[in-house]
A and B are shown apart, each in its own frame.
Chain A
Amino acid sequence: MRASEKDKDKSKKHTTATVGAAALAGSVAHVAHARGSGKIKVGLLGCGGRGNGALRQNLNADPGIEVIALADLFENQVRRTRERLLKEDKYRGRVKIDDDHLFWGFDCHEKIAQCEADLLVMATAPAFRSRQMMAAIKAGKHIFTEKPVATDVAGCRGVMEASKLAREKGLAIVCGTQRRHEFSRVELMKRIHDGQIGELAGGQCYWYGGGIWFRGYQEGMSELEWQCYNWYHFNWISGDQICEQHIHNIDVMNWCFGGPPVKFTAVGGRGWRTFNESQIKSAKDVCRKLNNGSEAGWEKYNGDIWDHIYAEFEYANGARCLSFSGHSPGKGRNGEKIVGTKGTSNCSSSIEGENAWKYSGKHVNGMDQEHIDLVKSIRSGNVLNEGQRIAESTLTAIGARTAAFTGRALSWKWLLNASKQDLVPKQEDLGSGPGVFHSIATGRDALV
């Protein structure tokens, strides 16, 4: 049985039992509200592009959803998001955000967790997700969270704990790996798990693209705030591209195999980013603004993520799969292929081989459907909980990254149980001061 099916199944069993217990704790009050056909109050944590998109997709999922709170690291993001929402006719009467429900700062997740929202949509930079999820679950909130859910091993463990607690409390966690909610893929995976392509013998997944924005300095930001604003370029905040972006495809491979790999080997590096002239220009500009006009030491502002990782995942049945990711000029690729002893599949809509098949049903946009599935599950009381699964897929990406950064071959068991990798500063150390900069991985870094 797949991990997600197991989760779903367990949460069904737990629902009745936990309602009683949770009611005693008092934290279930909002959950109770969300059940049935009443209003669902939602708060948005992370008011950037993806957060604004996810919030609207959430609102579109059910007419009974109202947005009541916004939170972000930056005040202007929060205010701008409310202004724009209020202007949209589509959501008239459903945007009810009072001034005292606008939160900003490094502790904004703690504040929004204490408001009366039933559901939080999470879309800040990935580094902070693990503690945000724990705070939200402790406060009795359902969660929609963007992927990935962590940037280090410690963060993944935190999400696994939060997921466990959510199960005990009967709270939903759905994650923005939207491929899991596309009807065509769901149908396809049933067939793959039924053995239609035989035993899985190999596979490939790819996300190789042309690059990503590099954000300059905005007036009034501290160094750490700028770093969080330009978050993609710092491994501790984004988890690097393999974690932030390629996780989608990695998650599909894990879906095929019904769990994460048992072993990782990888190579990779940072070629193009180090020599990318427009990015260097921006980094120098940031350096000047933060250092009284001096360009000395600009390199640290150029980020520390790599631009390519080539990883091999070995799954429990011995199958070895390729994960091919990165950013640079050249050929772009995005997708997956799974290979079995009786056929192959594009992991999306068809099977080739002995049991050739092509999906002919309805196509849905997974980014809408994931919210529909979430809200339905909340209303029905049979909550979805994808927490453990997304923590595993995030850890899969982190495992590949760690194998590449260190040049070592790693086991899942070691990673999960023995690694001390902990990149994100403690909550109390996050303030409006200096940034947190690490040197670029060498390909033979110490294994932690």
Chain B
Amino acid sequence: MTAGTLALTGAIVPLAQARGSDTMRVGVIGCGGRGSGAARNCVESSSGVEIVALADTFEDRLQGLKKQFKVPNDRCFVGLDAYKKLLALDDINLVILGTPPGFRPKQFAEAIRRGKNVFMEKPVATCPAGIKMIIEASELASQKGLAVVAGTQRRHQQAYVETMKHIHDGAIGDLVSAQCYWNMGALWVDRAKTNWENYKSGKWSDVEWQIRNWLFTKWLSGDHICEQHVHNIDIINWAFDAIPEQVHGQGGRQYRTEPQYGNIFDHFGIEFFYPGDVRTISMCRQIDGTAGNVSERVVGTKGSAYMDSSGNCKIEGENAWAYNGPTPNPYVVEHADLIKSIRSGNPLNEGKRIAESTLCAIMGRESAYSRQQFNTKWFMSRCTLDLLPPDDLKLSDSKELPPFAIPGKYQMPGWVQPSRGRRRG
């Protein structure tokens, strides 16, 4: 235990307060739909949890939580630097990070620097520069004895946990193949339209529009493969207990083409290459009226495992089995696990793991944008893509939204086209 050294830095004080049955004093950064949901889940999860401070870019977004938890005015912070003000409060020992993912790396690093335990929503970055920042801060969290849990709630869903135990115990043998999907219809249709009207009418600046419309803004959401499909990719990483070595993908913007949908795609198909040249399918789509499928499947030499978030998790083959245990709400369990780990003095730290799963989604996206195949090592060492917001970003700023990617035109930062002859079939 490193408490001795950490005590010297002074950062351990709030942590010490959290031990035992002490009250969890929670600050929420990002009070939109998910941030608010996470805050309520957190309160529900354990006794002795209080929401004591709020931060959001927009005043209108934090009203719901403010009212519900009677947070006084002087502990509600608004603006792009609101998170810094909240994190400067000494009496907070846990923060929930629920802002758009593009903001996460800097906010997470600041939270760890300030000695806070962290619950952060997925994904945790939209670019490799952000991934590096998350990994570094996670290492610092370990050194400081701080807990980090990420909102990939399947990791805390009992049906998944049990299925993974079976897989890791060899129930389906060696893994030879896998598939994961997030195929769904449209979302935020009305919101995107209203946002666009506010932007086009001049009511909102570029930056305000992009943040309010963050789901469709690449630097903020990381595109839907990153924002949403990361859940499923994370499961495949979990099953393999590894991340892919290589990636090749495709994707595009075929149906959702109007300008209110920013610069993201509406479909991706990615091939991930896990160690031992095990190749997997990753497919995601957000097109209204199309076939839905949100699930994962892992195939081994002795059988296969199927999983989806309804808790329908089973193994077929030599060791057939199906989960039929209790199904507590994983969005609550993840907070219970987090708080239990803080109170017990054995803090969970999921930082590196969620950074890696986010990285896979980002690599898939960049491969689809550029249609290039590359390996993870290359991406982490050579890809210079940096979408992190500048520290002096203002809500009123002009910031042109880059066009959506067109293969052949999209330049992946750091990519050098290898010189070789054209292949024929």
Which positions in A face B, CB cutoff 8 Å?
A: 198, 201-202, 204, 207-210, 245, 248, 265-272, 275-276, 307-308, 310, 312, 318-320, 322, 324, 326, 328-334, 337, 339-342, 344, 406-409, 441-444
A310, B255: Cβ atoms closer than 8 Å = no
- Given A209-B423, A269-B252, A443-B254: A407 touches B290 (CB 8 Å cut-off): yes
Segment of B236-244, B298-306, B321-329, B352-360 engaged in the interface with chain A? B298-306
A-B contacts, 25 listed (Cβ < 8 Å): A202-B176, A204-B271, A207-B425, A265-B283, A265-B291, A269-B267, A270-B252, A271-B252, A271-B407, A272-B408, A310-B250, A310-B268, A310-B283, A312-B283, A322-B279, A326-B371, A334-B423, A339-B278, A342-B301, A344-B277, A442-B254, A443-B266, A443-B285, A443-B287, A444-B287
A312, B281: Cβ atoms closer than 8 Å = yes
Interface residues of B in 404-418 (CB under 8 A from A): 405-409
- Name the residue of chain A whose CB is nearest to the CB of B301: A341
- Is B269 positioned at the interface, with any CB of A under 8 Å from its CB? yes
What is the minimal beta-carbon distance from A224 to any residue of chain B, in angstroms?
27
A330, B408: Cβ atoms closer than 8 Å = yes
B291, A443: Cβ atoms closer than 8 Å = no
- Name the residue of chain B whose CB is nearest to the CB of A342: B301
Closest 9 CB pairs of A and B: A310-B269, A330-B371, A407-B290, A202-B177, A269-B252, A269-B254, A329-B408, A267-B267, A328-B407
- Given A210-B422, A320-B281: A444 touches B290 (CB 8 Å cut-off): yes
In addition to A265-B291, A320-B179, A322-B271, 14 A-B residue pairs with Cβ atoms within 8 Å of each other are: A202-B177, A202-B299, A208-B371, A265-B283, A308-B251, A320-B177, A329-B371, A331-B371, A339-B177, A341-B302, A344-B176, A408-B290, A441-B254, A443-B285
- With a CB–CB cut-off of 8 A, which chain A residues contact B373? 330-331, 333
Most chain B C-beta atoms within 10 Å of own C-beta, residue among A248, A270, A324, A442: A324
CB-contact partner of B372 in A270, A331, A341, under 8 A: A331
- Name the residue of chain B whose CB is nearest to the CB of A271: B252
Which positions in B face A, CB cutoff 8 Å?
A: 173, 176-177, 179, 181, 183, 248, 250-255, 266-269, 271, 277-279, 281, 283-285, 287-291, 293, 297, 299-302, 304, 316, 370-373, 405-409, 422-423, 425
In the complex the two chains form, what is the Cα distance from A271 to B268 in whole Å? 12
- Name the residue of chain B whose CB is nearest to the CB of A352: B277
What is the minimal beta-carbon distance from B186 to any residue of chain A, in angstroms?
10
- With a CB–CB cut-off of 8 A, which chain A residues contact B370? 330
In the complex the two chains form, what is the Cα distance from A324 to B371 in whole Å? 12
B291, A409: Cβ atoms closer than 8 Å = yes
- With a CB–CB cut-off of 8 A, which chain B residues contact A198? 301
CB-contact partner of B297 in A207, A209, A320, A328, under 8 A: A320
- With a CB–CB cut-off of 8 A, which chain A residues contact B252? 268-271, 308
What is the minimal beta-carbon distance from A48 to any residue of chain B, in angstroms?
18
In the complex the two chains form, what is the Cα distance from A442 to B284 in whole Å? 16
- With a CB–CB cut-off of 8 A, which chain A residues contact B304? 201, 318
- With a CB–CB cut-off of 8 A, which chain A residues contact B255? 407, 442-444
- With a CB–CB cut-off of 8 A, which chain A residues contact B279? 202, 204, 322, 337, 339
B423, A324: Cβ atoms closer than 8 Å = no
- Given A272-B406, A308-B252, A324-B269: A407 touches B425 (CB 8 Å cut-off): no
- With a CB–CB cut-off of 8 A, which chain B residues contact A341? 173, 176, 301-302
In the complex the two chains form, what is the Cα distance from A245 to B173 in whole Å? 36
Most chain B C-beta atoms within 10 Å of own C-beta, residue among A276, A320, A340, A406: A320
- With a CB–CB cut-off of 8 A, which chain A residues contact B406? 271-272, 275
A268, B267: Cβ atoms closer than 8 Å = yes
B299, A201: Cβ atoms closer than 8 Å = yes
What is the minimal beta-carbon distance from A375 to any residue of chain B, in angstroms?
25
What is the minimal beta-carbon distance from B228 to any residue of chain A, in angstroms?
14
What is the minimal beta-carbon distance from A262 to any residue of chain B, in angstroms?
15
- Name the residue of chain B whose CB is nearest to the CB of A322: B281
What is the minimal beta-carbon distance from B42 to any residue of chain A, in angstroms?
36
In the complex the two chains form, what is the Cα distance from A245 to B423 in whole Å? 14
